[in-house]
């Protein structure tokens, strides 16, 4: 690695001054898992990936490509992918998970109690689990039997396809344990990807999960033909309801003004690369949910997480009208045209209320 090593990421058996590569595992060979694996490899880590498709794993290992999820990208050398979960995590000091949020518990359950005691586990996901209303770091600690301090979350304005071609961006690495956050930040820092650390795990995770729901709402408005005033209104009021939920769950308000809050909200709502924004636009243009899912390649987390975020809000008595409207359109048959009326005809109130 070409940068300082403030904490113990490298093997203690390394010769003085000679940093050994970090053993890292990435679970999930979709667009973000593959891109984050490339970032780790560029930062000097030795990276193994786990995926359920033998064909995708072979492409990554043998040809340094992932044609379905990152077409046109050549991956850095040294990434090996396999369908053998046990072999991929064995000996890894950093295990990053990039799977659709609703699948994480089932995929990781076989690893319960079997993670290397020195390893940290990193959530790259932006979702909330339906039924339990758990954030992804909670699903990881629950499923793997880990203390919260051994889990970190990476979240920010991080559209995978931009990072895969080394466009510059920053991110937030959050953990309740500052040393864990610093360790993960160290492992993924490269000239085009700058990690900041934070201990507000709740705020960082909520920022990532709720912005997907707000991006769906923005997409629905754009697909209906509305312009920038409507987009800006949804982004701003979407941030307001995210902050309200965060306050109820103990997050720090300033986190939502940062990269994992406003930063990611703006990137996702503005970019046609966003699957949530794209799916929302299809719905706004008149497609059914099934048609929109088919027309959108990749995981649009907000489709399922809108229900889980709403459950969480209702459990804590928090008003989230945009989230409620998105869930009503996607899952309860509310026409997009009625969504606008439902939101704009609410009782007037003070802006900060």
Ligand X SMILES: NC(=O)C1=CN([C@@H]2O[C@H](COP(=O)(O)OP(=O)(O)OC[C@H]3O[C@@H](n4cnc5c(N)ncnc54)[C@H](O)[C@@H]3O)[C@@H](O)[C@H]2O)C=CC1
Site residues (vs ligand 13P, CB under 6 A) = 126, 157-159, 212, 215, 264, 267-268, 274-276, 301
According to CB under 6 A, which residues from 269 to 308 bind ligand X? 298-299, 301
**Which residues sit in the known binding site for sn-glycerol 3-phosphate?**
126, 156, 211, 264, 274-276
- What's the burial of 225, exposed, middle or buried (CB within 10 Å: 0-12/13-18/19+)? exposed
Q: Minimum CB separation from ligand X for residue 4, in Å? A: 27
What are the residues facing 232 on neighbouring strands? none
Please report, as residue ranges, which positions from 84 to 113 form the binding site for ligand X (by CB under 6 A): 98-101, 103, 107
For residue 282, the Cα-to-chain-centroid distance in whole angstroms is 22
First to last CA, the chain: 49
Q: Which helix (H) or strand (E) holds 67?
A: none
Residues 6+ apart with CB under 8 A from 183: 7, 8, 9, 94, 120, 152
Distance CA 259, CA 274 (A): 16
Q: Which is nearer to ligand X, 51 or 246 (CB)?
A: 51
Distance in Å, CB of 155 to ligand 13P, minimum: 8
103 binds, among ligand 13P, ligand X, none (CB under 5 to 8 A by kind): ligand X
Task: Give the nearest distance from C-beta 78 to ligand X in angstroms.
Answer: 20
Binding partner selected for residue 52 from ligand 13P, ligand X, none, CB under the kind-specific 5 to 8 Å limit: ligand X
Instruction: Please name which of 181, 204, 209 lies closest in space to residue 250, comparing C-alpha atoms.
Output: 204
**Residues near ligand X (CB under 6 A), total:** 26
Residue from 202, 320, 195 nearest 252 by CA? 202
List, in order, residues 6 or more apart from 115 with CB less than 8 Å away: 89, 95, 121, 144, 146
Q: Shortest gap between Cβ of 77 and ligand X (angstroms)? A: 21
Catalytic residues: 211
Binding partner at 157 among ligand X, ligand 13P, none, C-beta below 5 to 8 Å by kind: ligand 13P
The yes or no reply on residue 340 touching ligand X (CB under 6 A) is no
> Applying CB under 6 A, does 51 fall inside the site for ligand X?
yes
Burial status of residue 235 (CB atoms within 10 A of its CB: 0-12, 13-18, 19 or more): buried
267 binds, among ligand 13P, ligand X, none (CB under 5 to 8 A by kind): ligand 13P
Q: Which stretches of the chain bind ligand X, using CB under 6 A?
A: 28-33, 51-53, 69, 98-101, 103, 107, 124-127, 158-160, 298-299, 301
């Amino acid at each position: 690695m070409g940068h300082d090593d403030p904490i113990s990421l490298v093997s203690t058996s390394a010769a003085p001054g000679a940093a050994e590569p970090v053993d890292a595992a990435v679970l999930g060979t979709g667009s973000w898992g593959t891109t984050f694996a490339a970032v780790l490899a560029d930062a000097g880590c030795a990276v193994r990936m786990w995926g359920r498709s033998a064909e995708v794993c072979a492409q990554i290992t043998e040809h340094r490509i992932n044609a379905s999820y990152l077409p046109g990208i050549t991956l850095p050398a040294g990434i090996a992918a396999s369908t053998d979960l046990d072999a991929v995590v064995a000996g890894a000091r950093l295990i990053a998970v990039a799977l659709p949020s609703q699948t994480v518990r089932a995929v990781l359950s076989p690893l319960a109690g079997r993670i290397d005691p020195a390893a940290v586990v990193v959530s790259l996901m932006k979702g909330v689990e339906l039924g339990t209303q758990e954030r992804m770091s909670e699903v990881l600690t629950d499923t793997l039997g880990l203390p919260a301090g051994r889990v970190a979350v990476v979240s920010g304005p991080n559209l995978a396809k931009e990072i895969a071609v080394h466009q510059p961006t920053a991110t937030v690495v959050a953990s309740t344990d500052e040393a864990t956050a610093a360790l993960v930040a160290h492992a993924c820092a490269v000239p085009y990807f700058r990690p900041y650390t934070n201990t507000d795990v709740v705020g960082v995770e909520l920022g990532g999960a709720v912005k997907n729901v707000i991006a769906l709402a923005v997409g629905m408005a754009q697909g209906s033909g509305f312009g920038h005033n409507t987009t800006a209104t949804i982004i701003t009021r979407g941030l307001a309801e995210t902050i309200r939920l965060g306050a109820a769950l103990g997050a720090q308000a300033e986190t939502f003004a940062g990269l994992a809050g406003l930063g990611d909200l703006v990137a996702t709502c503005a970019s046609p690369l966003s699957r949530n924004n794209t799916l929302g636009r299809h719905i706004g243009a008149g497609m059914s949910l099934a048609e929109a899912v088919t027309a959108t390649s990749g995981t649009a987390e907000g489709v399922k997480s809108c229900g889980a975020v709403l459950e969480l809000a209702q459990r804590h008595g928090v008003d989230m009208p945009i989230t409620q409207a998105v869930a009503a359109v996607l899952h309860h048959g509310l026409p997009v045209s009625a969504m606008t009326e439902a939101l704009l005809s609410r009782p007037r109130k003070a802006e900060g209320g």
